[in-house]
Chains A and B, each alone.
Chain A
């Protein structure tokens, strides 16, 4: 029976054929019951084979691209994470030593915590601001497109350029931030060199930069909401705030989950603004997981360690994505 089930002919015995099965056999037949019955193999016609060949030919570049640029590097990353590899010498197998070192490394622990804090604040805050801006820009405003472009501009501007502007704004002596605070009598801060403030400064830049893309997705989602819902609510006397919470937000739920997932992935991969604004300092106050990967790979020449750090970052993102997918499953169904 097992052979029959495994021979691929589609003639496996099912539970109906073995009603008296018990124990392991019952489990097996249960599995078989759940399995799909394979259709009889049909020899494709000549034109069918031609179509199939054409199909494979068309997807071949994509498969080659994914294989060469994604699959092989991913496999290589996992493999190299188990080696002592400095680029200059051949990789040497060291098992889980890199992972043990990472776990015991206070700088990487600090980086992990900073990344979590950064994600915790940038993702929900920028999402909340983005949805409000999206709703406002979805009204029939004059110069609506200009406003949308203005809010989206940070998304399409090089982060390094943005960070340079923020670098000036955070300058303790000549920066705009302290200048504004001085006008209202609040003492300025050394935003990027004071460990109390440096991470918050990086978070502020992250929130600001992340609004554009989220806003764009929300505007697209808002335009798919049926106007009749708002008309009906208006007839019932609902206020604008009530309509926002009772109609807009619930209808944006699929978009919100999508934005949430891509925002978390983006936040965990934050690098550019840290690289330009703080260099991970002061005293590792703003170092992030990606920054530690960079440091291990390009400052310390420890590619094996950097690969192990990348694998851990990947694991973090995988868990977050799975949690998000689980949360959205009901919605998708």
Chain B
């Protein structure tokens, strides 16, 4: 993480933050100055960008050496100070920013985050300020992606990239076991997973038939849950429904895979594994992120031809999407400049470059035909199946709820609680958070 914030600004920020924190005075107030009608030459101001993407040397180089110079050509009187962070620390950055009253003019945040920040008045209403409508955006994006940037029928964020989770099979390993197709139902998935699992003479797991532990357990569970036909919340997001029969059935399925069928052992792999087990042959199938293809290009080019993505075959095809969206602070002193930067980052060229750098899925439908998408099997598959993809989030309290999902899934997988107990406890906590 690094920052290009000037010393003077940091000093002022520190002092203001201190006063705000110690006195408990906070306000996200301020009216968004309106209008996105100004000509590029009339837009000016020093603005800040908080981003959890473009991280690392490569990302920073892309943003600062390629993208921002293009933006400055169009908007020569705007300067952008970039504050880099990661998704793991984005909450902390935003919390301290809000507490200190120094909210970045442009904030990039994840799917599921917009509702909470829009509800609390942190984000500018782009429908009111810049004239965006749901219908307009749906010409360029899939409807569920547009919805991820909306709150109470107004647009608050523009999609840039998607992170998807789908099933992936190593077809060479499936062929060795006599399968020539990916699973077509949960039952077949289970049967194939058992058949593809290998243990040595001492019982130590050598290859899992279906890996669920290389991806975040919350997102892995949700991918399976979506395929069961379940939804996380009721239609108006006032009640959690993940403890529905579909939810319990999903969690029971995962618990059985691990504890009854011995398809995967706790600790066999993890989200921080250096190489995804699908790439080194330690998994025959699994739930994986779309960046698996980029990893394969670097770590295991010889297995790329054997990687076959598939939607989880349940009551409905299961596919999860998260992603990164750009939003404008409601209290920005330079709303036109902030809107201009937001639009630029979401524009086809800038979004394509950012997606390519991270191996992610472009949100813009028109980018399906790009060389990058056509050359990346995982990304292409994700874009072609976005109509079945479902997202997490919904209620403004989602950020509070989501942190409790992983421990609940773990408690069930470790058999500390039954799936019903784990999800009921989780739902009770979620309901309390929604009601607060």
Seen from chain A, the residues whose Cβ lies within 8 Å of a Cβ on chain B are 68-69, 72-73, 76, 79-80, 84-91, 107, 167, 172-174, 187, 189-195, 280-284, 295, 297-302
Q: Given A72-B23, A283-B416, A301-B400, A190–B267 Cβ distance below 8 Å?
A: yes
* The residue from B22, B23, B98, B202 contacting A87, defined by CB atoms under 8 A apart: B98
CB of A283 within 8 A of CB of B399, answer: no
CB of B24 within 8 A of CB of A76, answer: yes
With a cutoff of 8 Å between Cβ atoms, the chain A residues found around residue B274 in the complex are: 174
In Å, the complex CA distance between A86 and B117 comes to 12
CB of A76 within 8 A of CB of B23, answer: yes
Within 8 A of A (CB), among B197-222: 202, 204
CB of A299 within 8 A of CB of B265, answer: no
CB of B414 within 8 A of CB of A76, answer: no
With a cutoff of 8 Å between Cβ atoms, the chain A residues found around residue B21 in the complex are: 73, 76
CB of B270 within 8 A of CB of A88, answer: no
CB of A295 within 8 A of CB of B403, answer: yes
Instruction: Give the 8 A-B residue pairs with the shortest CB-CB distance, closest first.
Output: A190-B267, A88-B120, A283-B410, A193-B267, A300-B400, A283-B411, A299-B403, A72-B22
* The residue from B116, B122, B267 contacting A172, defined by CB atoms under 8 A apart: B267
Closest to A195 in B: B414
Seen from chain B, the residues whose Cβ lies within 8 Å of a Cβ on chain A are 18, 21-24, 26-28, 91-92, 95, 98-99, 116, 120-122, 202, 204, 265-270, 272, 274, 399-400, 403, 406-407, 410-411, 414, 416, 433, 436
With a cutoff of 8 Å between Cβ atoms, the chain B residues found around residue A88 in the complex are: 26, 28, 98, 120-122
CB of A300 within 8 A of CB of B403, answer: yes
Closest to A287 in B: B407
Apart from A283-B411, A300-B400, 5 more pairs, CB < 8 Å:
A73-B21, A90-B27, A280-B407, A284-B411, A301-B95
CB of A89 within 8 A of CB of B120, answer: yes
**Whole-angstrom distance between the Cβ of A7 and the nearest chain B Cβ:** 39
In Å, the complex CA distance between A69 and B22 comes to 8
**Whole-angstrom distance between the Cβ of A195 and the nearest chain B Cβ:** 6
CB of B22 within 8 A of CB of A76, answer: yes
Q: Given A283-B410, A298-B95, A302-B400, A90–B26 Cβ distance below 8 Å?
A: yes
In Å, the complex CA distance between A283 and B422 comes to 11
CB of B407 within 8 A of CB of A281, answer: yes
In Å, the complex CA distance between A172 and B265 comes to 11
CB of B399 within 8 A of CB of A299, answer: yes
With a cutoff of 8 Å between Cβ atoms, the chain A residues found around residue B27 in the complex are: 90
User: Could you give 17 example pairs across A and B, Cβ below 8 Å?
Assistant: A68-B18, A76-B21, A76-B23, A87-B26, A90-B26, A174-B274, A187-B202, A194-B267, A281-B406, A282-B410, A282-B414, A283-B416, A284-B411, A300-B399, A300-B400, A301-B399, A301-B400
**Whole-angstrom distance between the Cβ of B246 and the nearest chain A Cβ:** 23
Closest to A294 in B: B92
With a cutoff of 8 Å between Cβ atoms, the chain B residues found around residue A190 in the complex are: 265-268
With a cutoff of 8 Å between Cβ atoms, the chain B residues found around residue A189 in the complex are: 267
In Å, the complex CA distance between A73 and B270 comes to 39
**Whole-angstrom distance between the Cβ of A26 and the nearest chain B Cβ:** 48
* The residue from B99, B266, B403, B436 contacting A282, defined by CB atoms under 8 A apart: B266
**Whole-angstrom distance between the Cβ of A144 and the nearest chain B Cβ:** 39
Q: Given A80-B24, A87-B26, A299-B91, A172–B268 Cβ distance below 8 Å?
A: yes
* The residue from B91, B267, B269 contacting A298, defined by CB atoms under 8 A apart: B91
With a cutoff of 8 Å between Cβ atoms, the chain B residues found around residue A195 in the complex are: 414, 416
With a cutoff of 8 Å between Cβ atoms, the chain B residues found around residue A80 in the complex are: 24
With a cutoff of 8 Å between Cβ atoms, the chain A residues found around residue B122 in the complex are: 88
CB of A87 within 8 A of CB of B99, answer: yes
Closest to B204 in A: A187
In Å, the complex CA distance between A72 and B403 comes to 31
In Å, the complex CA distance between A73 and B99 comes to 14
Q: Given A87-B26, A297-B95, A299-B399, A167–B266 Cβ distance below 8 Å?
A: no
With a cutoff of 8 Å between Cβ atoms, the chain A residues found around residue B416 in the complex are: 195, 283
With a cutoff of 8 Å between Cβ atoms, the chain B residues found around residue A297 in the complex are: 95
**Whole-angstrom distance between the Cβ of A113 and the nearest chain B Cβ:** 15
**Whole-angstrom distance between the Cβ of A45 and the nearest chain B Cβ:** 40
CB of A193 within 8 A of CB of B400, answer: no
In Å, the complex CA distance between A195 and B270 comes to 15
CB of B24 within 8 A of CB of A79, answer: yes
In Å, the complex CA distance between A283 and B425 comes to 13
CB of A84 within 8 A of CB of B436, answer: yes
